[in-house]
Structure 1
Amino acid sequence: MSTTGRTTNAPARHFERATVAHAAGMATALRIVCGCCEASGYAILSAALRQGPPEAVTDHFRAGGWTVGATPADDRCPACRRNTSTRNRMKGQTMAAAKPRKAAATAKALAVRTTAAAAAAPAPTEAPTTAPQADPPPAMDREDRRIITEKLDDVYGDRGYRGSWTDTTLARDLNVPRAWVSEVREAFFGPEGSNPLLDEYTAEKEGFDRLHSGFMAARKAHCEEHDRLLKMAMDLSRKADDIARIGKRIERELG
């Protein structure tokens, strides 16, 4: 992917800092992780990257063959990027070749059903109204099943999906119906199960929400106590002024 295809209005991505071996010592670098195979890439924080615009780091990774997505789950290393491109090209060619055959078979089946229905129906007394028929849903063929299986080999582990993958994200990546992915996964790999990354995110978010709720409750109580003490201080100040005025009056009148 060339840097000229970058969307200028897209928010700058932030990458994890890491310390890596460089030259004769260690250096600070920014790390990118492939959302498919979890391979890592690094960009040494040189003076040019430190002083350059935020998108300079993204351009650096793209120049190295990486696909930098909108989120870390969309990042792809050069190897996965090539594999995905090859699979999608082969899938597109296969599906394009299969569409005429499927369309012809569907048209023939509809013609046979229409002819049989016309022969069995009694002669109408008036012109019948033909109801429109919906197109049949797409059917998964052998090539579709092979492509989905290969992708599942890459992203499905012993107990479920790895990384941020689910049936939904895999179907979106291959541009196929989710039901196809679920069917192949259930038949050859096992249950969808829980996703470790999503489980970690859910646990972390729940813990944060509890801490945040406790903080907001304590903050509210603190603010209410502060307002109460401030009002009390203002009342005491007014009373002190009243007492001071009475004292001065006593000094004037009674000496």
Structure 2
Amino acid sequence: MSERTFPEQRIEAGGVTAVAYRIECSSCAAVGFYPQKRIGIRRPLHSIAEHFRGMKWSVGSGARKDLCPECARRRKPKKEKVMADMTAAAKPQADNPRAEKPREMTRDDRRIINDKLDEVYGKDCYKSPWCDAMVAKDLGVPRDWVAQVRDQFFGPEGSNPLFDEYLTARDEVERHWCDVKAAHDAVMKALDEFRPAYHAAHQSLESLRLLGRRIERELGR
């Protein structure tokens, strides 16, 4: 397939006349131009196409397939929708009766979980910092399996001492922050209210100082 070409046209911009390559939208009346380097020095065809693509034009294999940025933008969602439909069609359907069923907990899985819980579960609660989620992550099994074995053979998940300590510290810090912020806001409000009086007093003092220096000069003669 031969490389496509772009027609040349003499244009004028800023009082300067130059020869430029022209591209025209096949869907509307929009046109684009790319001037030559210098008069008579042509640009490589691939660089012309890349220039127009950089300007958001859709450059086709021929002039009848060129689209300006606006027309290309309007047509792009259609292409994306087709690709999305093709991708969705390639995926297995969730309601497919032949889809693989989730793996069920076996006797060995139950034994492994039980052994781990025997190690990390204390009296009526986990030892710090363990919990159902951490056990499941450590063993690489679903959290529901861990909860099922724990409820059956050990007891409630209970509270995590480390997490309880964190919650207590968090609440204390948040209360302290609220107190400090309230005090800060009160100080800033008082400062805003006091600032006009401060400037007025400062101006009065400066005026009095100027008067005093003038009187001293006149009396000191």
Scaled by the length of structure 2, the TM-score of the pair is 0.50
Larger radius of gyration: 2
Larger RCO: 1 or 2 (CA < 8 Å, sep 6+): 1
TM-score, normalised relative to structure 1: 0.44
